[in-house]
A and B are shown apart, each in its own frame.
Chain A
């Protein structure tokens, strides 16, 4: 649109040329020195990572060696916070309970996601995108909505109790459906399941279909094909999903609060130290526990090449 104007008026086109010159002069140092361009491109994300991730974590770690004196956190170096963790068995029990919960949720998610993803890849064509979307959609709704959805299912006036009462299986609402570790488990499994299905689906989708046929052709039934072909080839995806589900469960403190029977998980006690007790140093020391567990888990996963599949 502007080009005809520019060419019909020499002055304008001159100005246009000047502008290009100006632009060139701006980018000249960039073209001359690639390192400068690199800094400009990588700088913002690097700042973001350092400023919003590395620094806070470092402060958190430093806090764990400080102490509360009066009502203030003071930089008096001490190992008391860690001593306290190992002195009272309750903290390690809580850690163990959390790890067991995270492991159960992860293993169950694998058990559900693997056949589901396999089915989607192998046996659906027309419905595939719709079913895939059905896995995805919960991720677009709020985490709290999904947790509360389970309250309406498991509560004493909930769907499950009402159904069982109507079917005369029970005569009084079962309170234990809600406010139990089972409820925490089911809710977490439901909330984090998509994070397992997506990488597992991607991994199985990458397996050439002829490998399934070859396995069957060589005499293997479904289970054998699952064990010898699908599992090993989808394993990086399974590990990738496990990292998601395991770490998300390890850090969760809202579901145990809303659905649990009061048993503490690591996330709860950390939140309590920061939010209720205002003991930041002890909270920081507790925070290192799941971090260590996750570091171990990630190191092991790396061995299996799971990080490449992310």
Chain B
């Protein structure tokens, strides 16, 4: 593991989360207590503790090999943890079989039974529990209605599109009214447009049925747009838990800043401070003022992150009347419809800046000299080193998508 300062995932972060659900006041649906998993000599999951509140949409976000799927499989009962305890609704289920847990799973490959019709698949859980036939038929119809597949009872899974199979898998899990629904990269096999649609659909269904969702994904956008809380995972441990805004606006360390979205990171020396800010001297850049954060005391070297969309581009003569300004030159511009991504060089540094296209097309030309301005509150002090940041950026690009 890299030299990250320990982040107490359970306590410090969740208390700060701006989630609509407060884990302290709601009964916990899932509790992991020091759960870990070792395959041979490899730690798939290092000792992890986690609390998920009832009714919460909770995401595990991380690159492949970060331990997120292992966590899900331990909760589902497909893997026995090497140590630690798993509680579902305060019941210790650590050594229970999957069929003894009030949990259902939507598998990455959907795992629909190819020899059964859609109705047969959806009703499987009820048939196993020996419900009455007309009761099963009624509930299958209702579950298919919930996922908008009414009238598909007699089709075979092989006759359905990827998106439809996904919905069948969802209906098959939800019909059992589980206390917790586990979703293992359920949208991974769908194309981008369908994935967007299904995100809304999943969120709608989750609010409809009010079941706790534990969602595993490597896709930041999915995790951000649907979740009440997100746990960012790396190297078999949780590096930050919080509401999407927490994780994005206040990354707990350089790794998260690099993994979730894009960050401009500057390193500088504290040369002055007052009650509310530090003055940071960034070599070949200038003086940057940063809001003080509780917990960070007198430090010589600081790493700070600024999100690209927090920076305003102005003409050089405009001082912006904002704490931080610096003059640079546009070196790259990539137009993306709603916004344009600029690369702006300031001495040896290159900053990423995103600007909404309010007029027609990009407002700035390549080579143009501009002034950048941003407020000191949007600067965020990062614990950890630049190496962690790189690690995060690499994992984000390895997992394919970024914001």
Report which A residues bind B (CB closer than 8 A).
Answer: 208, 210-211, 213-221, 224, 228-229, 232-233
Contacts and interface: CB of A to CB of B under 8 A. Distances in A.
B99 A217 contact: yes
B114 A210 contact: no
Nearest to B97: A216
Given A213-B78, A214-B105, A215-B124, A221 B99 contact: yes
Interface in B67-108: 76-78, 97-99, 103-105, 107-108
A233 B112 CA distance: 12
A219 B129 contact: yes
Contacts of A219: 99, 125, 128-129, 176
Contacts of A208: 109, 111
B109 A218 contact: no
Nearest to B76: A217
A232 B128 contact: no
B172 interface: yes
B154 interface: no
Given A210-B109, A217-B77, 4 more contacts: A213-B98, A214-B112, A218-B172, A219-B129
A232 B76 contact: no
B99 A229 contact: no
B113 interface: yes
A69 to B, nearest CB: 58
A217 B128 contact: no
Nearest to B108: A210
Contacts of A221: 97, 99
Looking at B105, B113, B129, the one whose CB has the most chain A CB atoms below 10 A away is B113
21 contacts: A210-B107, A210-B109, A211-B111, A213-B98, A213-B111, A214-B111, A215-B113, A216-B77, A216-B78, A217-B76, A217-B99, A217-B104, A217-B105, A217-B173, A218-B104, A218-B173, A219-B125, A220-B99, A221-B97, A228-B128, A233-B114
Contacts of A233: 114-115
B114 A218 contact: no
A210 B125 CA distance: 16
A293 to B, nearest CB: 29
Interface string B192-229: 00000000000000000000000000000000000000
B129 A217 contact: no
Interface in B362-399: none
Contacts of A217: 76-78, 98-99, 103-105, 173
A59 B109 CA distance: 55
Interface in B125-158: 125, 128-129
A224 B128 contact: yes
A216 B103 CA distance: 11
Contacts of B173: 217-218
B98 A216 contact: yes
A221 to B, nearest CB: 6
Interface string B169-186: 000110010000000000
B200 to A, nearest CB: 25
B168 to A, nearest CB: 12
A221 B129 CA distance: 11
Of the listed residues A215, A218, A219, A224, the one surrounded by the most CB atoms of chain B closer than 10 A to its CB is A218
B322 to A, nearest CB: 53
B350 to A, nearest CB: 45
B98 A232 contact: no
Nearest to A235: B115
Given A217-B76, A218-B124, A224-B128, A211 B113 contact: yes
Q: Which 4 A-B pairs have the closest CB atoms?
A: A210-B111, A214-B111, A218-B125, A216-B98
Given A219-B125, A221-B99, A228-B124, A214 B107 contact: yes
A216 B113 contact: no
